[in-house]
Chain A
Amino acid sequence: MTRKQHNRVVSLATHAFLIAAVLLVSVPFYWMTVTALKPFADIFANPPKWIPDPVDFTAFRRVFAVLPFATLMLNSAKIAALGTIGQLISCSLAGYAVARLSFFGRRPLFFAILLSMLVPYQVVMIPIFVIMKNLGLIDNQLALIIPNFLGGALGIFLMRQFFMTLPRELEDAAKIDGANPFQIFLWVILPLSRPALTALAVISFTALWNDLLTPLIFLSKTELQTLPVGISTFTGQHGTEWNLLMAAALLSILPALLIFLVAQRQLVSGIALGSAVKG
Chain B
Amino acid sequence: MSAATPTPHTDRLAPQVSRSTVVAHAWALVFLAFALVGLIVLTIGPIVASFALSFTDWDLLGPPRFVGLRNLQDLVVDKIFWRALQNTIAFTVVSVPLGVALALGLALALNRKVRGIGLYRTLFLLPLVASNVATSLLWGLMLDPVAGPVNYLLGQAGLSQPGWLGDAIWAMPAIIIMSVWKGFGFNVVIFLAGLQGIPRELYEAAEIDGAGRSSKFRHVTLPMLSPTMLFVLIIALIASFQVFDATYVLTKGGPQNATITLVYYVYRAGFQQLQMGYASALSYVLFALTLVMVGILWLSQRRWVHYE
Contact = CB atoms under 8 A, between A and B. Distances in A.
A3 to B, nearest CB: 9
A276 interface: yes
Q: Which secondary structure characterizes the binding site on chain A?
A: helix
Contacts, number: 265
A128 B46 CA distance: 7
Interface string A24-35: 111111011001
A232 B152 contact: no
A242 interface: yes
Interface of B: 24-25, 27-35, 37-39, 41-43, 45-47, 49-50, 53, 60, 102, 105-106, 109-110, 112, 114, 120-127, 129-134, 137-142, 144, 146-147, 149, 152, 181, 185-186, 189-190, 192-194, 197, 213, 227-228, 231-232, 238, 241-242, 244-245, 248-250, 262-263, 266-267, 270-271, 276, 279-280, 282-284, 286-287, 290-291, 294
A112 B39 contact: yes
Given A123-B47, A185-B31, A231-B134, A116 B39 contact: yes
Contacts of A224: none
Contacts of B213: 10
Interface stretch (A61-69, A89-97, A170-178): A89-97
Contacts of B112: 11, 14
A232 B248 contact: yes
Nearest to B266: A122
B211 to A, nearest CB: 14
Contacts of B41: 131, 150
A9 to B, nearest CB: 12
B278 to A, nearest CB: 11
Contact of A102 (B24, B49, B53, B139): B24
Interface of A: 10-11, 14-15, 17-18, 21-22, 24-29, 31-32, 35, 43-44, 46-48, 89-91, 93-94, 96-97, 101-104, 106, 109, 112-113, 116-128, 130-131, 133, 147, 149-152, 156, 180-182, 185, 206, 209-210, 212-213, 216-217, 227-228, 231-232, 235, 240, 242, 245-246, 249-250, 252-253, 256-257, 260-261, 264, 267-268, 271-272, 275-277
